[in-house]
Amino acid sequence: MNETQHHTSDSAPSHRHARDGGETRREFLEHTSAGIAAAALSSLPSMATAQDHHAHEHHPDMGPLLAKELAHPFNQDPEKWLDAHEQEWKECFDCSSEPVTEVTVLCIDERMMLESKTESGRRVLRVAGSGILWKNADEFVDAVVAYVKAHSGNRPLTAMKIRISSHGDEKGKGCGAAGIKYGSETNPDQCARDEQNNVIVAKLRERGIDAEFIGDKEMRAEPHTAIGAAIDCTAGRLQRLPGLNTFVIAMPDNFEYTVKEAILALKISTGSHAYGEQLKQFTFVIFSDPAHPETAKTIEAALQEQTKEYTAKGMDIRFVTRKAPSVK
C-alpha cells in the first residue's frame, strides 16, 4: 500500500441493510473476499465496443492533458488536498433533514456540468449512462423504486420527482455508456436517449413514480481527462464536487454496480479514447456515510481486489476515504 492509501477510522456497529436480492453488506463483503466481485465485473460489456463509436476515438493531444492533470494538487497528494479543502467539499453534501423531494440521475461522466450550490431536499444519483448499462431496465427501475421508497417516508411515491438525464451529441461529446451498449448503431447517443425516455421513465411511471426525461445535461466539450473517481456512499447527498475533475459514482444502494462502474471509470481513463497506456496513476476517493461506514469499507475492499491487475503492471492505484458530514 502506498503512502496515499490512508483511511479514516470509521467504526460503528454493522447495520443490516439488505441490497437487491436480500444480501446484507456484511455478506457481500464476505462474498467479495471469495471472488464474487470478479464474477460481477465480468458481466460488464466490453469497452472494445465503445471504440466503434466515432465520438470516442483516441485523441492525439492527451499527453499535454495528462501532464496538466498530474500537476493538479489533488493528483499530487490527495490526502493533503482533501484536508486543505475540507470545508469546500463538505459543503457539497446536503446535510439537512428535510424530506427528499427531487432526485436527478446523471451519468458518471466527469465532464457533466454540476450545480453551483447545494440545495436541501435534493439527491443526485450518478450512474453510467443514467442506468442503461444495468443488466436490464427492470433491474434498474426496481433499484430506483426501492431507493424512492426508502427516502419518501410516509409520503406517496408521487411526492418525489425523478429526473432522468442524458448527454451526448454529434460533435464529439458522445456518451461512453451509449458507445458501450449501442456502439454498432448509427447513433448510439440517440439510442440511449430512447431507452432512458421510452423505457426507464415509462417503467418508473408504471410503478407510480413521478418521473420525467429531462434530455441532455450540459457538459464540457472535451475528451475524458479525469484520472480519478469519487464514490458517494451517502445515498446521493453529494450534489457537486467543485475543484476536482473526477468521475462520480453514486448508486441506489447496489454494491456490485458501484464497483463495476468505478472500475469502468478506470477503464475509460486507461482506454484508447482517453490516456491509454500513458496513464500510470488513478485515485479513488470514497466519501463514507457516518451512519453506515461499512458501505465504504465494502466498496474499497472490492475495488482493491478488482484493481490488482493494474497494480501488477506497475500502476499506482490510490485509495483515500473521507467521512461525509452527517445529516443534521
The residues pairing with 165 across neighbouring beta strands, listed in sequence order, are: 215
pLDDT for position 59: 57
Span between the terminal Cα atoms of the chain, in Å? 35
Q: Is the pLDDT of residue 22 over 60?
A: no
Single-letter code of the amino acid located at 278: Q
Contact between residue 253 and residue 147 where contact means Cβ atoms under 8 Å apart: yes
Average pLDDT of the chain is 82
Residue type for 71, please?
Answer: A
What's the whole-number mean pLDDT along residues 283-310? 96
Distance of alpha carbon 283 from alpha carbon 119, whole angstroms = 28
- pLDDT number for residue 124: 94
Identity of residue 215 = G
Alpha carbons 214 and 216: distance in angstroms, whole number: 7
Residue predicted with more confidence, 160 or 31: 160
Q: Which of the pair, 326 or 57, is modelled with greater confidence?
A: 326
Pinpoint the alpha helices (H) of the chain.
Answer: 25-33, 36-41, 62-71, 73-76, 78-84, 86-90, 137-151, 176-182, 188-194, 202-206, 255-269, 294-306, 308-311
- Give the mean model confidence (pLDDT) for residues 217-241: 90
Q: Does the structure show a pLDDT above 70 at 58?
A: no
Supply the pLDDT for residue 30.
Answer: 42
Exposed, middle or buried by CB within 10 Å (0-12, 13-18, 19+), for 61?
exposed
Q: What pLDDT sits at residue 50?
A: 40
Q: Quick one: CA torsion of 39, 43, 47, 48, rounded to 10 degrees?
A: 110
pTM: 0.82
Percent of the chain with pLDDT over 70: 80
Confidence of residue 169 (pLDDT cuts 50, 70, 90): low
Report, as an integer, the average pLDDT of 47-75: 70
- What share of the chain in percent tops pLDDT 90? 58
| Position 42 pLDDT exceeds 50 | no
Q: Residue 311: its pLDDT value, please?
A: 96
CA distances from 221 to 64, 110, 168, 179 (A): 17, 11, 10, 17
Q: Is the pLDDT of residue 55 over 50?
A: no
Confidence of residue 171 (pLDDT cuts 50, 70, 90): low
Query: What are phi and psi for residue 98, nearest 5 degrees?
Result: -65, 150
102 CB-near residues (< 8 Å, 6+ apart) = 121, 122, 123, 160, 161, 163
